A and B are shown apart, each in its own frame.
Chain A
C-alpha cells in the first residue's frame, strides 16, 4: 500500500498533536477543570488519527464531498501559485515585523508604499497618493481622533525616543 505525507496529513497531525497535548495537560488538573478538555480531546484525537490514516493511505485527487466553504483558485500554474503564496505570507509577516520595529503609525504608510512600489509596480504618483491616504487614515482616525494606544516601535525604544 502506497503511503504519502501531504499537507492534509500534516494538518490532521497538528490536530492530533493539539488533542494529545490537551489530554496530557488535563492530566494534572482537578476533575471539573479537566472534564471538558478530555470530553473534547478524546474524540478529536480519534478523528484526527483517522483523518491522518485516510490522508496517508488513500490519495484524494478530488475532494471527497463538498465543504461548505470557498475553494482556492486552481486556474493559476501550481509553481507560480506556490511562489505567490510564499510571497504574500512573507509580506504579511514583514508587515508584522515593521509594526514591531517602527510602530503602527509609521509601519502602515511604509508598508503601503513598499507593497505598491515593489509588488504592484505602480507609478510614483499613485503610490505616493495612496501612501498619503493610508497615513492620513491611520494618523487622523486611529491616532488623533480615537487615541488608540499604539505601542512605540522597538527601534524608537532602543534609541531612546
Chain B
C-alpha cells in the first residue's frame, strides 16, 4: 500500500503527466475565474482530448483542471461579487464585503489558503477512506438524505441573524427558497408546478442564474450608487498588504477551517447533495462559531471566517465526491458523473479494482488533487496583490464588464434566453431583499435543499412507509436538527444569564 502511495506521487511528476496536469490547471484557473464557464461543462468539453492519453495522464489532466476551479472561482466572488462558480457564491457575503472595505488582498489570501487546506483534507480523506467508506455510503439511503436536507435547512436559524424580526425574515426567505425549488415538473407524478405554461420552466429553475442574479445585481447597484471603485476611496497602499494576513487568518482559525473542510468532505461523499450545499452549510457553521452577538453581527459585513468556511468546504468536497465515484462508480455530483465517463473511456471499471489492480492510479488522483492545488495557490499568491488592485478601478469602468460577465454567466447555464429573465428577476428580488434587510443566504439554502428534501421524502415513504422514522441514523439526524435550531437560542440565553450575573 505504501509503495503504491509513493509511486502514485512519482508518476504524476513524469514529464508528460506533469505537463498535461499543468495544462489542466491552466484551463481550470481561467474556467474558475470566468462566471460564464462552469467546471462541469469544461470537463465534458475536455473529454474527447483524453482518448490518446494514458489513464494517469487523463486523470491528471481532468482532475488538475477540476480541482482548481473552485479555488479560482473564489477570486471572482471576492473581487466582483459575482460567483465565479455556482459553488463559490457563499464567499461573496463576507469576501466581497471585505473587498469593499479595502481588504481584498486579505480576503483572497484567506480564500486561497483555506481552499488549499480544504483540498488537502479532502485528498487525505480520499486516501484514507476508500477501504472503509462502503458501510458509510450504504448507510445513507433516502430517509437519511431527507433528514440531512432538513439539518441543512435548519441552518436557516443561524443564517437569519440576531433578533426576532431577523429570524422572521430569515424563515420567510428560507421558505421562499423552498417554494422556488418546487418550480418545474413534480418528481412524483410529472405534473407541472408553477411553470405558467412555459417549457423553459419544466426542468425547474437553474441554480446559476438564480445565484448570479441574487448576488451580482445588488452589488452592481451598490457600486453604481456609491459612484466610486469597489474599495471606495481608499489609498492604494492599503490594499496589497493583506494577502499574508489572510493566509495567517486561516491558521488563526485553523480548527474552523478543518471543521468546514470535514463538512465539505462529508457532503461530497454523500451522493445527491451536490456542491452548492457544502458551502452554505459551512457558512452557517462559521456563523455559529461566533462567540458573541457582536461577533455574529459582523458576518455578512466582512468577517474573514465567512470566507474561510465556504472556501475550505468547496474544495474539500472534491476529494469527498471522488470517494463514491472511485469506490462504487456512484457519482456524487454532475462533475463526478462526467469523470465517471472518463473512467469508461479509459476502459477502467470503478470499484474493487481501484484498490487492487489500479491502486497506483487511485493514489495518483489523490496526489493530483494535492499538487494541483499547491501549484494554483502558489501561483495565485504571486500576483494576488495585483488582482486586489482591480478593486481600485472606477466603478463606471467595471460595471459594464461585471454586467457582461453576469449576463453571459447566466446565459451559459442552459444557453436559453429564459436564463436572462430568471437572472433579472432574482436580481431585483436580491436587491429588494438587501434593501428590506431580508437575508439572502437562507433563500439559497432553501432553494438548494428543497428539491432534495422533497424527492427523498417521497422515496422514503413509498419504500419504507413510516418505519423510516425509526432508523437510527434518521433519529440521530433529528436530534442534530434540534441542536442546530436550538443552539443559537440556548447560547444567547446563556449569555443573557451570564450578563445578568455580572451586573
Residues of A in contact, count (CB < 8 Å): 71
Cβ–Cβ < 8 Å partners of A148 in chain B: 411-412, 415
**Complex Cα distance A119/B36, Å?**
25
**With A72-B222, A99-B407 in contact, is A67–B169 under 8 Å at CB?**
yes
Judge whether A68 and B300 touch: CB under 8 Å. yes
Chain A residues 89 to 132 lying within 8 A of chain B, measured CB to CB, are 89, 91-93, 95-96, 99-100, 104, 108, 111-112, 115-116, 119-122, 126, 130
- Indicate if the CB atoms of A92 and B162 lie closer than 8 Å: no
The reply to whether A73 and B407 contact each other, CB–CB distance below 8 Å, is: no
B424, A93: Cβ atoms closer than 8 Å: yes
Task: List B residues 149-179 near A (Cβ within 8 Å).
Answer: 158-172, 175-176, 178-179
Judge whether A134 and B400 touch: CB under 8 Å.
yes
CB proximity to B under 8 Å, residues A21-60:
21-22, 25, 29-30, 32-33, 36-37, 40-41, 43-44, 47-48, 50-51, 54, 60
- Distance (whole angstroms) from the CB of B37 to the closest CB of chain A: 8
B172 engages A33 (CB within 8 Å): no
Interface residues of B in 196-217 (CB under 8 A from A): 217
Chain B interface mostly helix, strand, loop or mixed?
Answer: helix
Binds A, one of B185-193, B341-349, B356-364, B494-502: B185-193
Give chain A nearest CB distance to B38 CB in angstroms. Answer: 11
* Residues B301 and A70 in contact, CB atoms below 8 Å apart: yes
Of B14-22, B50-58, B382-390, B433-441, the one touching chain A: B433-441
Q: How far is the CA of A69 from the CA of B450 in the complex (A)?
A: 21
Cβ proximity bits B427-469 to A, threshold 8 Å, 1 near / 0 not = 1100011111111110000000010001001100000000000
> What residue of chain A has the Cβ atom nearest to residue B42's Cβ?
A146
**A43 & B175 in contact (Cβ 8 Å cutoff):** yes
Report B-chain residues with C-beta under 8 Å of the C-beta of A22.
Answer: 179, 182, 194
Whether B378 sits at the interface, judged by CB under 8 Å, is no
Per-position binary interface string of chain B over residues 221-251, scored 1 when its CB falls under 8 Å from any chain A CB and 0 otherwise: 1101111000000000000000000000000
Contact B193 A37 (CB under 8 A): yes
Query: When the two chains form their complex, are residues A15 and B220 in contact, meaning their CB atoms are under 8 A apart?
Result: no
**Residue on B with the closest CB to A42?**
B175
* Contact residues of A: prevailing secondary structure: helix
Q: Which of A68, A84, A126 contacts B93 (CB 8 A)?
A: A68
**Out of A70, A87, A95, A99, which one reaches B300, CB within 8 Å?**
A70
- State whether A134 touches B401 (Cβ < 8 A): yes
- Report yes or no: B172 in contact with A76, Cβ–Cβ below 8 A: no
Q: Which residues of B contact A21 (CB under 8 A)?
A: 194
B218 within 8 A of A: yes
Residues of A within 8 A of B166 (CB): 63-67
Count contacts on B: residues with CB < 8 A to the other chain.
Answer: 81
A3 at the interface (CB under 8 A from B): no
Q: Does B23 contact A (CB under 8 A)?
A: no
Residues of A within 8 A of B45 (CB): 146
Q: Are B224 and A96 in contact (CB under 8 A)?
A: no
Q: Would you call A69 and B397 a contact (CB within 8 A)? A: no
> Which B residue sits closest to A16, measured CB to CB?
B172
Residues of chain A within 8 A (CB-CB) of B186 are 29, 32-33
- The reply to whether A85 and B179 contact each other, CB–CB distance below 8 Å, is no
Q: A116 to B412, Cβ gap below 8 A? A: no
Flag if A8 contacts B436 (CB, 8 Å): yes
Select from chain B the residue with minimum beta-carbon distance to A19: B179
Q: Chain A residues with Cβ under 8 A from B428's Cβ?
A: 89
Residues of A within 8 A of B189 (CB): 30, 32-33
CA distance A122 to B437 in the complex (A): 35
Interfacial chain B residues near A60, Cβ < 8 Å: 165
Cα(A44)–Cα(B438), bound, Å: 14
Q: Closest A residue to B416 by CB, please name it.
A: A151
| B300/A67 in contact, CB under 8 A | yes
The verdict on A116 contacting B163 (CB below 8 Å), with A68-B93, A84-B225 known, is: no
Please state if A122 and B396 are interface contacts (CB–CB under 8 Å): yes
A144 to B373, CA, bound (A): 30
Q: Chain B: which residue is nearest A9 at the CB level?
A: B436
Residues 79-116 (chain B) with a chain A CB within 8 angstroms: 93, 96-97, 100
Residue of B189, B394, B403, B432 ringed by the most chain A CB atoms within 10 A = B403
In the complex, are the beta carbons of A47 and B175 less than 8 A apart? yes
Q: Which residue of A lies closest to B224 (CB)?
A: A88
Residues of B within 8 A of A130 (CB): 397, 401
5 shortest A-B CB distances, which residue pairs? A65-B163, A65-B166, A120-B396, A66-B297, A64-B165
25 CB < 8 A contacts A-B: A7-B435, A11-B438, A18-B176, A22-B179, A22-B182, A33-B189, A33-B193, A48-B172, A63-B165, A64-B164, A65-B163, A66-B162, A66-B163, A66-B297, A68-B287, A72-B435, A88-B221, A88-B225, A88-B399, A92-B424, A99-B407, A104-B408, A112-B400, A122-B397, A134-B404
Known contacts A66-B162, A70-B301; 10 additional CB pairs below 8 A are: A11-B438, A36-B178, A67-B439, A68-B287, A69-B440, A72-B225, A84-B227, A108-B408, A134-B401, A151-B417
Q: Which residues of A contact B (CB under 8 A)?
A: 7-8, 11-12, 15, 18-19, 21-22, 25, 29-30, 32-33, 36-37, 40-41, 43-44, 47-48, 50-51, 54, 60, 63-73, 75-76, 81, 84-85, 87-89, 91-93, 95-96, 99-100, 104, 108, 111-112, 115-116, 119-122, 126, 130, 134, 138, 142, 146, 148-149, 151
